Structure 1
């Protein structure tokens, strides 16, 4: 396979994060006139800090179970292959389709004299394929923020808000109030809006924006149990949000329609030797707190915790919370911009140079001996790299490390 297109696509990360829609809107208008204002499918936009990927996966699963397909699903980041971000009726698109989309968009960029970011290109490719596949419903997981996120280029028919928390403060603001206002700004008209329970500051921002735009707002009550296929107390909240959105399409939808959902890297259990490897992409303090609560609830006691995160995350607080459950094995996630774990490590905590280090893999194998569990968490980039080395991996032709698409300039969290 010619890999030039892949290298060129990943090189777009150097453009960075663009909080603005002008370039993408121009490209979409040239490729698919009228799409932004009048898409040929119902659009659900899911926005939040934590839980939006799980919510999107549950909604996609429920829609397909209720035969409302073809359903298009756009999520980020991927764990192993770029095509994971774009799914039609649950199937990730092939590399060849990504390549065709890259080539098609590049031709339009040359004509217009613009350059899209990595995330903007993937958003445009997703929309192209959803149109070509004749999708009836499209579920778009927002990336960073909301108001100026690439997924906001297409008018949503319904919006879902997953949990808001502090993250990406250098882009979205230093307080929950500012972050919530940025995310709530995706409400642009008299549309249905559903939200999980939020902290008072986040709730106030959502309520104010809904009043200003005349939106129909509902805060959902957590379900009694998470759907089968996704573990943890926090998934009860995400499931309630997914069910609220699903009932907008099918009024008779029930919690059982979410059962059987699968979403990689969310308390995902992988058999490893005599024991179990638990993979979770919790990558900020709020996510780690939810993960720890879930592990206690499920009575999972890891013998070791493989942890690493990025420089813009509160690594000391995350590590302190994880130490309550077990000893840490410290390893920086793949790629650039990792937190310097030397400043976090205790004298007795081993550190490893990379997820591919044979000594780390040997330490994990020793830890699972006798049927014990090991947890891997702290970053999509770390979980993606570790998952690719297990039987859970679906990648047969190499790895598109998610870190290769990371556009964020990682500044140490203050």
Structure 2
């Protein structure tokens, strides 16, 4: 090739970074510009992972090494569809990869779900992770809370709500979040799973971490703790299921502590059917379910009500449609074949690709994104055989001409140093800067 292959990647979370990394490791000379609407990179790892998960936060170290590569540039605080459009990107790049993830909450269509104090998971996660667009305060006046879901996101929310806030002071939790959690009235968190313990999506490590919290009692209610034929087969053949079920069984059988400040309850085979209340949440009505022998469930027509004053639904994430890009609203994904974006007639839109959750849906752990990116990149490299020789400096000129206060990799390093310095003053690794304008100001000092 006489010119390097120029690729724009939209979304600087793990999916976009992994795709960029794979491109740099190919035999094709490349120049990659990684765009994100946030002033800082890392996406889900910075704004979607609970602050007390240093193991997952450690992924940042691997992503950092990729973004240091000279073939890759970072343009933060640039929103696709607003600050630049598909026509702009196609003018300056040989290919565009969309990796914008899934940040919206999937809806739960039951009566009362829109009552005050009923929240989606991403709303609360954005708050406690210091997302620039999240509220700075959160009402935690409920003593009883319901968390709807049976995955790691539900566990994260339940744990943060039931945890003693001072136990988070060693993390990068923002001050406003610590203040809100310190004023919390929560005494009981109820986690509701529609199916049985063997059908949960908890990972064993995430589940066992709950048992290391101070002043928290774990209560597994025996009603609904059932294993059918399919469940027993899963326990025999899947070590992860076996570990999760054994952990829950051990908790169900042990003697209660009875003297803790907060309790986390597990309710299985309970399907939420209505959020009760008038001016705010007052309770949750669930239908008692039964396993059908194949791992699925059927309703029994019997119902229970639990008194709670707040509800958090963690029933899945959903991607948002992007301007000028086809979108399947039912699945919440971009139509594609092997990462090649397809138009309404099922034909590949030349030079346009996708990877990550907006490609396959919000399933799997962060590491699963690597295989996704490999498929997309291999097809991209097979398609683009002769780069057009675009000017690499055209992008920063375009953004400057439009008055976009974009941030760079150098700017992120300045912000990173600033946050670490703030943390050092408190004996912590980092104190996250929350306000967008402040993030941009710190990132652009000395870089423009």
Q: Larger Cα Rg: Structure 1 or Structure 2?
A: 2
Greater share of residues in helix:
1
TM > 0.5 fold call: no
Greater share of residues in strand:
2
Higher relative contact order (CA 8 A, sep 6+): 2
Relative to the length of structure 2, the TM-score reads: 0.28
